[in-house]
Amino acid sequence: MTLTVLGGLIYYSSLKTRHKELIKSKIYYSLNLVDSEWKKELIKDKVVFTSPTFVISGIYKSMEGPKSDIYPTIDDSKEELLWLTSFKTRAFSDSETTEISNDFVCHTNFEYRDAEHYNRWGFTERINEHYPRITSISNGIESFQLPKGYGFPVYSNERIVLNAQALNHNITDSTFNIKHKIEIGFKRHANTKLKPLRSQTIYIMLPFDKKNPYAGPTDKIPDACIPVETKLHTYYDENNNPLSGHWIVPPGKHEYSFNASKQLAIKDSIRIHQITPHLHPFAETFSLLNKTTGEVIYNCDSENFVNKIGLKSAPTFQSEEGIWLYKNNTYELTLTVKNTTSKNQEMMASMAIFYYDKEMQEKIDEHIN
C-alpha cells in the first residue's frame, strides 16, 4: 500500500500543471467538496450557463487551469431556428453573487457538433471540413456581438459544446473558489430574420524538429519554435513536417508570421463581417494581411496590464458591409510579442472569423418560412 501511494505521488509530481488540475478537479467533484454541476437559465433573448466551481490554488498560465465541458441545448422544449448574436463570459465568486476580475477567465470555447449541425441542413459535405468552433472568447476579449443584421444559425434543441477554463497569472498567496457565467445572446427566427454567418478559425503555426522538438532554431530549421508540448496543438504540413500552435516565447521582443491561405481554403471569395482574436499575455499586435494587394484587413493592437500579467484588451473587428477575401490572393497572419519578464512565456495566436454564408441562406429560404 505504501509503495502504491508513493508511486502515485511520484507520478503526480511528474505531471504538467494542466494534468494535475484535471486530477485535482476530479477529486474535488467526486468527494462533493465543491459544486460540480453546470446550471442553465433561459431568459427571453439570452441563455446563461454557470460553470461548476473552479478551485484556484496556484499560478495557471493559459490552458493550465481547472476546466469543465458541457453539451447543452439552448431550449429543448421545442424545435425552432435561433440566431446566436452575442457571446460573453464573466468571473464570479463561488456564491454566484459577486462579480470578480476577469483575470480568472482563460477562455470559453463555443462549438457546434459537426455531424448533428450539418445533417439537419443536408450539408453532409461540410462535415469534418473545418474544426467545428463557433468562436472563442478569452482573457482581454471577454465579450462581443456580431454585426447588426447577422447571426450564427442553430436549432433550439441542437446540442452545442461549451468549454470553460480558469486562469490565474498573479495570485500566489491564497486558495479560493470561482465560477464562470457564460451568456449567449440570440434572436428567434420567427421574430427576426437575420443573415447567416459561417465561422472558421485561423491561427499561427510554427515549425519544429520532430526528432528534437525542444532544440529551438537550428541551421536546418532557422525559424523553429519550442513547442509547449507535442501532444497538443501539433499539426503537420503537406510534407508531414510538424508545426506547433502553442509555443514558448523567451524574454524580449519577437515577431512571428504564418501563411494562412491554406487554412482559409477560399473556394472563390468570402466576405468577412467579424473577427475575434485569441491571444496570450505579452502579445502586442496581431494582424491579417492580404500580401497580394498589401491591404491590412484587420489589425489588433492589444493592451497589456502594466502592474500585473494579463491582457487588458484586444479589440475585435466588426463590419456590416464586410471585407472581401479572394481565392487567388495570399493571406498572412503576423504577430509581435514583447515578453517583459525574465522568464519564458507561452503564446497562441488565432482569429475566429465569421463570413457570410450564401449556401446556408439558400437552405433557410428553401426550408424555413
Q: Is residue 367 domain-resident?
A: no
d(CA 98, CA 76): 30
Segments forming the whole domain that contains residue 29: 2-198
**pLDDT tens digit at each of 369 positions of the chain:** 564 545 555 556 666 788 888 888 899 999 999 999 999 999 989 999 999 999 999 999 888 999 999 999 999 998 999 999 999 999 999 999 999 999 999 999 999 999 999 999 999 999 999 999 999 999 999 999 999 999 999 999 999 999 999 999 999 989 999 999 999 999 999 999 999 999 999 999 999 998 999 999 988 899 999 999 888 889 999 899 999 999 999 999 999 999 999 999 999 999 999 999 999 999 999 999 999 999 999 999 999 999 999 999 999 999 999 999 999 999 999 999 999 999 999 999 999 999 999 999 999 998 886
Q: Please give the mean pLDDT across all residues of the chain.
A: 93
**Residue at which a domain ends, from 169, 198, 227:** 198
**Residue at which a domain ends, from 198, 216, 247:** 198
**Whether 130 and 261 share a structural domain:** no
Q: Which helix (H) or strand (E) holds 363?
A: helix 358-367
Q: Which residues contact 164 (CB under 8 A, 6 or more apart)?
A: 51, 67, 68, 69, 89, 107, 108, 180, 182
**Residue at which a domain ends, from 198, 233, 264:** 198
Per-residue pLDDT tens over the stretch 258-303:
999 999 999 999 999 999 999 999 999 999 999 999 999 999 999 9
Q: Which helix (H) or strand (E) holds 17?
A: helix 17-30
